[in-house]
Amino acid sequence: FYPHLLAFHGLLRWVILAAAVAAIFVAISGWKGGKPVSGMLLRFGIVFVAAMDLEFLLGLILYFGASPVTKMAFQNMAAAMKDHELRFFSVEHTTYMFVAVILAHVGGVLSRKGKTDLAKYRGAAICYSLSLLLMLAGIPWWRPLLRLGS
């Protein structure tokens, strides 16, 4: 179960990165172009946020039960803080991604409830961009970029 869940978690990462780039592109083009809010901003935002939520849910399943890395870290957190990989997955990765999910949601709310069209585009562009930056900082780039269940 764990290898397949981890493989799907890693594969979904690429979908989310693509969705983030697309949502940011739409938001920035609307912000810079002074366009009225279109359905594209909302659609791309929904895809990005929904994919982030699914990925976060999978991450929580890995974090709290399926991952041997976090199980090992939870056994001795003091020792885990001295080990790069254990610290990364038990604290850093989790924190980066949690804040990235929050920022994605804030961007989605701002894209719908901003007072003006400019504020909707600007809020989405800023929050989605910050979310993407945190995701990029929190991805374990030293691990395989694509896992196929093994």
Predicted confidence (pLDDT) per residue in 81-128, tens digit: 999 999 999 999 999 999 999 999 999 999 999 999 999 999 999 999
Note the pTM of the prediction, 2 decimals: 0.90
| Torsion from C-alpha of 25, 28, 30, 32, nearest 10 degrees | -140
Residue 143 vs residues 7, 30, 61, 89, 146: alpha-carbon distances, Å: 12, 36, 19, 12, 9
Helices and strands per DSSP (H, E), number in the chain: 7, 0
pLDDT number for residue 2 = 85
CA distance 108 to 123: 9
pLDDT number for residue 17 = 97
Q: Is the pLDDT of residue 145 over 90?
A: no
CA distance 7 to 117: 39
Q: What is the mean pLDDT of residues 29-58?
A: 92
